[in-house]
Every structure is written in C-alpha cells, then in structure tokens.
C-alpha cells in the first residue's frame, strides 16, 4: 500500500474498524458511490472506535469531511479510526477511508477522511462522563 494514499502505520494509532464491498445499489447517476453511503459507514466506524471508552454514544458532529477520490462499484472500502480527543462527556474520532480498486488489488487510494464528535450518554440519553480513558501504550 502506498504510504501517501493508504492508512498510516500502527504507530499513528489508526485501527481498522470495518471493510465493505460497494454494490450497484450504492451508486448515484454518475455511476459512483453516493457520498451519503460513505458518510453512514464513516459514522458507524467512528461509533465502533468509541466502544473501548464509552457504553452508548450519539453522534453530535461531523467535521472536516473531505472526499479525495470517487469510489466505484466493486471497490473494497476500508475505514480506519483513531481517537484524537477524550473530553468529560465527548470523544473525537478521526476516520480515514481507503478503497482497494476492483480487479486492481495492488491499487489502494485514500478516498475520504473525516472527524466526528460523539457524546457518551446514559440509558436516558443524557450526557454521561467518560470513565474509561486511553491506556498508555
């Protein structure tokens, strides 16, 4: 994987969250994958990344969503995440999205990146303090 387009090394903190094969039902009129489909997976990947620290989260903000390259039917899309900040009740996750091009398994490109903020909530959906902080590596 090319270091300019693929996920950073494990020392960067990026962890694989999910991998998905893009299907024809996900396409727009131009034959590429809808941005909204990618946003839904980005939100899911980000929420998965909160699990070691939070019991239940709600998405409160998507920042800095950048679409670098199109995604096509048949591409295998990988979503990598890292925790960038933990506050009293909120947690910020960076998501990097790459696509392994269909029939070109040696070609992987960075297609999207985003930053998301979640709030840890209790069973009544009220903000709740995050008690499981990052452990030193």
> Which CATH number do you get for residue 107?
3.10.129.10
High-pLDDT (> 70) share of the chain, %: 88
Instruction: For 69-102, write each residue's pLDDT tens digit.
Output: 999 999 999 999 999 999 999 999 999 999 999 8
Residue 35 lies in a domain: yes
For residue 116, the enclosing domain spans 11-120
For residue 136, being part of any structural domain is answered with no
56 assigned to some structural domain: yes
pLDDT exceeds 60 at position 2:
no
Q: Does residue 126 fall inside a structural domain?
A: no
* DSSP one-letter string for 50-108: HTTT-SSEEEEEEEEEEE-S--BTT-EEEEEEEEEEE-SSEEEEEEEEEEE-TT-TT-E
135 domain-assigned:
no
Entry pTM: 0.85
Q: pLDDT category, 5, cuts 50, 70, 90? A: very low
46 lies in a domain? yes
Domains: count for the chain: 1
- Averaged over 104-114, what is the pLDDT? 90
């Amino acid at each position: 994987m090319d270091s300019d387009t693929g996920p950073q090394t494990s020392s960067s903190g990026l962890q694989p969250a999910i991998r998905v094969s893009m299907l024809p039902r996900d396409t727009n009129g131009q034959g590429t994958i809808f941005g909204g489909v990618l946003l839904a997976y980005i939100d899911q990947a980000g929420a998965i990344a909160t699990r070691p620290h939070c019991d239940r989260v709600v998405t409160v903000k998507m920042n800095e969503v950048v679409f670098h390259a199109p995604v096509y039917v048949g591409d295998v899309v990988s979503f990598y995440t890292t925790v960038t900040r933990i506050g009293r009740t909120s947690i910020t996750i960076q998501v990097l999205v790459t696509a392994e091009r269909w029939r070109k398994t040696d070609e992987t490109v960075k297609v999207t990146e985003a930053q998301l903020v979640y709030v840890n909530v209790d069973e009544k959906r009220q903000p709740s303090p995050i008690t499981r902080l990052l452990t030193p590596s």
